[in-house]
A and B are shown apart, each in its own frame.
Chain A
Amino acid sequence: MNRDKNLPLTETTYYILLSLLEPAHGYFIMQKIEELSNQQVKLAAGTLYGAIENLLKQKLIQSVKNEDNRRKVYIITEKGKEVLLLDLERMHHMIWITEGQLKL
């Protein structure tokens, strides 16, 4: 079976999708990612903006209405959740076979 063309996700896109399981605006996404990754992944503004733009284009996230019209708020789409789960499975498999090969 052919693999979904969105896979594998980059670390950046994976964390953005993960942090958008609930609605958030740009700066909040950034803080959330820092927290989720134990301060390992720190995105800069330009990089995050470009990544959000790409995810919108791929319809993995969408923007939602909010009161503050100076900042856009995004949330993951159904397709985005699907892709996130597929990537999770992919990584599960990698962990599983690696542990088997190394006899951990």
Chain B
Amino acid sequence: MIKFKCFIDYDKEEKWLHEMANKGYELERVCLGYKFYYTKPKNVTIRIDYRTFKKKEDFIDYCNLFGDCGWKHIAGSKNSGAQYFKKIDENSQGDIFSDAISKAGKYKRLSSMCGVLAAMYLMLSAAYISGGYMNVKAMLNPKLLYLTPGLWERTGVPFWGGFLFETPFVILRGFVFIIPLVMILYVYLLIKAQLLYNKTKKVL
């Protein structure tokens, strides 16, 4: 079964995955969505860390350290960021972090990653605007993306004919506007992650 959901707060995501396992759905992999396989209802503890790795051997070493401590790596890859661990040893500790600062650290890493991506998309937007590939005015007034002369003065069938004919081209032309939108999304995620960092730092 595949489910699509979006979390920023890892505590909530861990809780959701725990509830899914209670219903018998165990996490198999995470890639765009969550893929589950059905077993029997189980009490499973899942913990999530956020980390990316420069080298393959760093990632392997990381997974093995958690494995040695009773936490099996079940989803995530070298560059995916979010790393999912399942508790496999009853005697191991209840969490993968033993103090508040290191637990909050994952939000710090998430927020700086969002910062890097936001900056990249900002530069990309600036390049598109200065190169004349993106018309800022058209962002507020999408009518400007229609290039047929006198289209908006037409009425009835000639209008709809021209309008529908040009719309697919307008969508292609307007596609660049996804760049500033993605930038805004990353800025939003950055702020959210920063707030969670501040919150997590204080409690455990």
Across-interface contacts of A27 in B (CB, < 8 A):
65, 68-69
Number of A interface residues, CB 8 Å? Answer: 19
Residues of B near A46 (CB, < 8 A) are 47, 49, 66, 95-97, 102-103, 106
Q: How far is the CA of A48 from the CA of B103 in the complex (A)?
A: 11
Give chain B residues whose Cβ lies under 8 Å from the Cβ of A44: 69, 93, 95-98
Is B153 in contact with chain A by the CB < 8 A criterion?
no
| Main SS at interface, chain A | helix
- Count residues of B near A (Cβ-Cβ below 8 Å): 22
Q: How many A-B residue pairs have CB under 8 A?
A: 57
The answer to whether A26 and B60 touch (CB under 8 A), given A12-B99, A44-B95, A46-B103, is no
B105 at the interface (CB under 8 A from A): yes
Binding site for B on A (CB under 8 A): 12, 25-27, 30, 42-51, 69-72
Q: What are the nearest 10 A-B pairs in CB distance?
A: A27-B68, A46-B96, A26-B65, A44-B98, A47-B102, A45-B69, A45-B66, A72-B61, A47-B98, A46-B97
